[in-house]
Chain A
């Protein structure tokens, strides 16, 4: 025991590490910041540390070669002892990091902790958020399956819309004119060297600023920030009734961090990593490149934006959001911090969460996409097995109508539900609509024969309520 004591004393004498770090660990923080509201930043960091540990582990087994990465992923998942769990940890750790960084940001925004003197805390945080998003995307790409290949193309096409330099940026991302050997090596370099290095640099900067400016006190309504007096007041209050960060504030971070890490581990064990898709073959077009859950809302945004404004929204939308986030502490760096006195801030958060959830919900069902795997209409649904109505029903199955229109629960969601179309449109109206299309429907005038068209119209005319209630007003 004495030996260890002496060894420790020698080490401390020569390095002075404890002497330098201990005062930082135990520096006084505002009493009311030792709160469960303040655990999300550290939890994001714990998730990031988990990503480093599991990422490095995966690098022991992964081959960053366009032709072999897929096989190495299969190997990691199926033929190593813990590879499946490590992949699961890395995947769900990424999900956790995205979720937690979002919650952390909402908390900081709601308590206006970005106001004086913590503007740079916020700005480094926005940089960390962007880097986290880049990690999330590049991580999906190095999971080198068919979805990865097509996501890469979709991302490059978006970059291609940047005015003047779009083509160059797109080919820079792909690593050439086509997907190929260079694509994955480059994405791998971003995902494991460049972006993590930047993340670590900005994380250290962010933490330094947290120490330098002090953890923000939990805001009280009626105590506005005034840059002239804020620092003095803050220091006085910390001196008066501050508590040492370690362990009085930090134990909550540790408890919550423990819950986060354990939850990720449980999910990694029970659910495991996401299934690998088909191999990364760009000539296999049987693909629906839907991104991981945290990007689904953006996927929906891309599908739903009005085409004429598309390029502007695609290129300048993210730019504008980024600029607004950077500008926030300069737009207002003083005044009330309490969410009770900042109803618009609360409304902004509600609006953002609402729109993202809405887009997310729509993105999952993707009603704008034709459903290529829609179940064909059965004879029972068509209601007969011969004659024009039957033939029309078969045409409905074969001519692509089914991919976009639903009848009696079968079919896609892109166009209107036609289960009772016979009640709404006359035969002439139906013919006109099928021939010419309209809104988002292609015209079929050039592809259908007269017989096919009249069969289809007969079939659609027969789609009525079984016992239509004749209404005196003529119906609606």
Chain B
């Protein structure tokens, strides 16, 4: 039908068809979009409950020396395999005080190593260095090492599972 023969009734009829088509299409997309977007965003909404993981007998930790301990994340998926493992640096001092640091550098998350002779934590990536109390000694880290909650239960050192520390601003 050409423009000339279009009546005003015809126009509103076409407008109606246009509107209903676009509305229905958008509605369908919106409806299926909710479960889709929901599934994709699930990991930032569903937080696993932190749990205490035993990492060794208190007495087995050398005095005044950092030791790396491995433990399993809060609630690993069945197919996570070795990726469910994580690590922390633990030091036992006098009076059985415990210090636990994340292995992740506060700069960009690379794994810091305890260099026993120098009594420093050193990061292999961008040169971050920390003193034994976790404060920044050199390099780019904007803050000291992150510590993890720790407790002693029945002679066992237990670490509370925690997220990978993300250094944020604002």
Contacts and interface: CB of A to CB of B under 8 A. Distances in A.
Interface of A: 65-68, 149-150, 153-154, 156-158, 160-161, 163-164, 166-168, 170-172, 174-184, 186, 279-289, 302-303, 305, 307, 310-311, 368-370, 372, 398-401, 403, 414, 437, 440-444, 446-447
**How many B residues are at the interface, by size bracket?**
35 or more
Interface in B139-169: 139-142, 161-164, 166-169
13 contacts: A153-B108, A156-B109, A158-B108, A160-B168, A161-B169, A172-B44, A178-B73, A178-B74, A178-B161, A178-B163, A283-B68, A283-B85, A311-B142
Given A161-B169, A400-B117, A447-B118, 14 more contacts: A67-B80, A171-B43, A171-B166, A175-B43, A177-B48, A180-B76, A282-B85, A283-B68, A287-B110, A288-B124, A305-B140, A369-B125, A398-B117, A400-B115
Nearest to A184: B83
A399 B129 CA distance: 14
B106 to A, nearest CB: 9
Contacts of A153: 104, 108-110, 164
Contacts of B108: 153-154, 157-158, 302
B68 A302 contact: no
Given A153-B164, A161-B167, A172-B41, A285 B112 contact: yes
Contacts of A368: 126-127, 139
Given A289-B110, A302-B108, A440-B138, A282 B83 contact: yes
B137 interface: yes
A243 B74 CA distance: 66
Nearest to A174: B164
Given A167-B168, A180-B76, A150 B110 contact: yes
Given A153-B109, A285-B68, A287-B110, A303 B127 contact: yes
Nearest to B105: A157
Contact of A372 (B107, B124, B132, B164): B124
A178 to B, nearest CB: 5
A311 B166 CA distance: 13
A281 B167 contact: no
B24 interface: no
Contacts of A182: 43, 77
Contacts of B71: 283
B1 interface: no
A175 B84 CA distance: 13
A150 B112 CA distance: 12
Q: Which of A68, A178, A183, A284 has the most CB of B within 10 A?
A: A178
B80 A180 contact: yes
B125 A303 contact: yes
Interface string B29-65: 0000000000001011001100000000000000000
A100 B52 CA distance: 51
A401 B162 CA distance: 33
Contact of B109 (A157, A175, A177): A157
Contact of B83 (A160, A280, A302): A280
B120 interface: yes
Contact of B127 (A175, A179, A369): A369
Contacts of A164: 170
B87 to A, nearest CB: 4
A240 B89 CA distance: 75
B85 A281 contact: yes
B127 A167 contact: no
Query: 7 tightest A-B contacts by CB?
Result: A67-B81, A400-B118, A181-B77, A442-B137, A177-B163, A285-B111, A181-B80
A130 B124 CA distance: 28
Contacts of B166: 156-157, 160, 166-167, 170-171
B82 interface: yes
Given A400-B118, A440-B139, A287 B124 contact: yes
A347 to B, nearest CB: 30
Contact of A303 (B109, B132, B140): B140
B113 interface: yes
Given A168-B44, A368-B127, A370-B127, A283 B169 contact: no
Contacts of A398: 117
A28 to B, nearest CB: 35
A66 B79 contact: yes
A330 to B, nearest CB: 31
Interface string B84-109: 11110000000000000001100111
B127 A180 contact: no
Given A287-B110, A398-B117, A443-B137, A281 B83 contact: yes
Contacts of A286: 111, 113
B88 to A, nearest CB: 9
